[in-house]
Amino acid sequence: MKTKLILVAMIFLIAGCASTPTPAPTVAVPPTAIPTEIPKPTQAPTNTALPPTPTTAPTITPLPPTNTPLPTTPAPTATNTRAPVTREPTALPTATEIALRFEPPVLVEPANGATFTARRDDFVFVWEPVGDLQADECYALTLQVKSLVDPQQEHYGQEIYLVQDSCNSTVQGGPLRFTVNRRPPAPNYDGLMATADALAGNVSSQDYLVHWSVQAVLRQDGNLIPLSPPSETGEFKLLNP
């Protein structure tokens, strides 16, 4: 009996192996949904206030106590890029080249070393002509009266006289003459003595030294233009008793 059961089992086993197995039906598996990550909304950046930067207080430099101006930077100077133009100077004749047409006058009187007395004697000056002068050409006489209170100091009164009578004079007219009075009316030397005394400290001198010279000049627009060099300087004494 046991053997029969084994045989039956073997038959079923062989039969099963000989038959083609029927494939099992394929079950469609629905696609699996892959979850998509939804992006989170981007938040706008927040304006976060930065911490304040510490500011260093400016250093105040005290000004100097004096009124000395502070140095400033000079503004740049515009440079002229054009080539400089050099102008030739125009040669003009000088006053000396135009005017000096005569030799210096020769003095005649008073003689050097002569003595006069203040408020008693007039000064009479005489000199030789240098040539024939035109109507606007004359002689100018320079007179100086110096105080001798302090001979080392230059305390003097001085005047230049235009000798009107000498204008338009000629050589044939002979020596020329000009008088300076001892007191007013003008021309007089009393005022020159007063000027010298005032410069000497309002001290009246007992002696004065007088200098004089003559020069030919041209009258032009209120000016006196030399026509000759000045003469030698004459000198004499003036007593003040």
**What is the distance, to the nearest Å, from the Cα of residue 9 to the centroid of all Cα atoms in its chain?**
142
pLDDT at 26: 47
Q: Is the pLDDT of residue 36 over 60?
A: no
- 96-239: what CATH class? mainly beta
pLDDT at 85: 32
What confidence category does residue 9 fall into, taking pLDDT thresholds of 50, 70 and 90?
Answer: low
- Mean of the pLDDT values across residues 36-44? 48
Residue 201, phi-psi category: left (phi > 0), alpha (psi -120 to 50), beta (remainder): left
Q: Where are the domains of the chain?
A: 96-239
Alpha helices in the chain (DSSP H): 2-18, 95-99, 190-199
pLDDT at 10: 58
Average pLDDT across the chain, whole number: 75
**Residues in a beta bridge with 139:** 163, 216
Q: Is the pLDDT of residue 35 over 50?
A: no
pLDDT at 11: 53
pLDDT at 6: 55
214: part of which helix (H) or strand (E)?
strand 207-220
Whole-angstrom Cα distance, residue 185 to residue 38?
Answer: 131
pLDDT at 160: 97
- Out of 80-89, 98-107, 121-130, 220-229, which region has the weakest mean confidence (pLDDT)? 80-89
User: CB of 234 within 8 A of CB of 114?
Assistant: no
Q: Which is higher by pLDDT, 113 or 80?
A: 113
Render pLDDT for 82-113 as a digit per residue (tens, 0 to 9): 333 333 333 334 444 555 999 999 999 999 99
Q: Is the pLDDT of residue 161 over 70?
A: yes
pTM of full prediction above 0.75: no
**Residues in a beta bridge with 159:** 143
pLDDT at 5: 53
